[in-house]
Amino acid sequence: MKTTTIAVAAVSLLQLASAQPFRGLRRHLHRHEKKDVVTVVEIDYAQPAEEPEVIVYVNQDGTPASTTTSYPAVAPVTSATPASTPSVSVTPFSVTVQVNDVASSSVANSAPVASTPVTSSSAAPAQTSSSAPAASSSSSSEGSGFGFSYSPYNADNSCKTQDQVNTDFAKIGDGYSLVRTYGTDCNQVATVLSAAKSKGLKLFAGVFDLGTLSSEIALIVSAANGDWSSFDTISIGNELVNAGTASAATVVAAISTARTLLKAAGYTGKVVTVDTLVAAKANPSLCDNSDYCAVNSHPFFDGNTAAKDSGTFLTNSISDLQSVLANKNQEIVITETGWPWQGETNDKAVPSAANQAAALTSIKTAFASKPSGVILFTVFNNLWKTNTAAQFSAEQYWGFLGNCPSG
């Protein structure tokens, strides 16, 4: 019996610090609690064929900010020993996963930190305050075919139940096409999938941690239970290269491994990795090895873009990215974009309810002919997150329908 996993290449704090002045490297703090203890048996990961790779971090204009050299490798992992079942198997790779639900009241800091420094002071940062967007009831064609992201966590970081998820989804208007989630903890693939089906939505599921790739795939397989008809996409990682958590070669190898495991389980849909538009432009192999090019892009973090110009910012950025792809006609999907309704001003980017509405109108107008190419971030406020100066104290306030109805 052997246990293996994909090793990730870490970037030192010094290297991250050298890239910090560039707005294009700012990102959301996607932190997800890992509540599953897993044991994985007999997994052979695909090996990247690339030579050692130099990663170049650039700003939004493409100017190099810093570099680091990555050496793809496969390293052993020490797995926790579970105490109980259930057990899930994926053939022909004999993936056996045993899961224990470990209760926790806080989100683990296992996710990569933001690539912009958090400034601290004794006084709380000044914020641009405004009334929060109010949650709306269902109305036909409200979503107009766009997707939205959703996280099933309560404000105290605990997991939402199926009833809570159902309550939240009941307050989301009709007309959306897809819901995006980021991980597999909190049984979220099953709970969100059930709620999505009730509204006729497809699910964009995600694997958050490459270190638990096979076990997270197994949990997705278990939730699907042989029926993949409601799955649109499965993402392998979110902003890992941008954060310096993994090299492009490591992520590409993980995509290949995941695609093989999913195919063995009967999934023939789309498999991608998601990173920032800036990171994808600097590392086009991320898109070249995905079934479409999936990128997060937030005009707010640019600082030179007003809310009303958000749509133009995105279309121009997509055009720049397209030029570096191996397939110049490859589909590009914006897997995160939006505007905060509260927080600190970032030069021309001002958080307010009015500006959030203006940004969403601009984005929807720019992508009116292809709404499936945009996933709006995010449907409800993420009060389980921590506001930081690095994110302009806005991390909790991107919900365009206000607070979650279920708490």
Pick the closest to residue 237 from 184, 176, 303 (CA basis). 184
Residue with tokens 């139940």, as numbered in its chain:
161
Catalytic hit among 53, 239, 336, 344: 336
Spell 44-65 as b/e; 16+ CB within 10 A means b: ebbebebeebebebbbbeeeeb
Q: Burial of 84 by CB count in 10 Å (0-12 exposed, 13-18 middle, 19+ buried)?
A: exposed
Residue with tokens 């999907």, as numbered in its chain:
333
Assigned token pair, 332: 């590009």
Q: Within 10 A of 103 (CB to CB), how many other CB atoms are there?
A: 7
Cα–Cα distances (Å) from 38 to 173, 309, 341, in that order, read 37, 46, 39
Measured in Å, how far apart are the chain's first and last C-alpha atoms?
A: 45
Q: Residue 152 and residue 169: Cα distance in Å, rounded?
A: 11
DSSP 188-243: HHHHHHHHHHHTT-EEEEEE--GGGHHHHHHHHHHHHTT--TTEEEEEEEESHHHH
Q: Residue 255 and residue 265: Cα distance in Å, rounded?
A: 15
Classify 261 as helix, strand or coil.
Answer: helix
Backbone angles phi, psi at 372, to 5 degrees: -70, -10
Backbone angles phi, psi at 380, to 5 degrees: -125, 155
DSSP 99-156: -EE---SS--TTSPPPSSPPP--SSPPP-B--PPPPP----TTSSTT-EEE---B-TT
Give, as one character, the DSSP assignment of residue 23.
Answer: G
Determine whether 216 is an active site residue: no
Q: Residue 285 and residue 327: Cα distance in Å, rounded?
A: 11
Q: Burial of 277 by CB count in 10 Å (0-12 exposed, 13-18 middle, 19+ buried)?
A: buried
Active site residues: 336
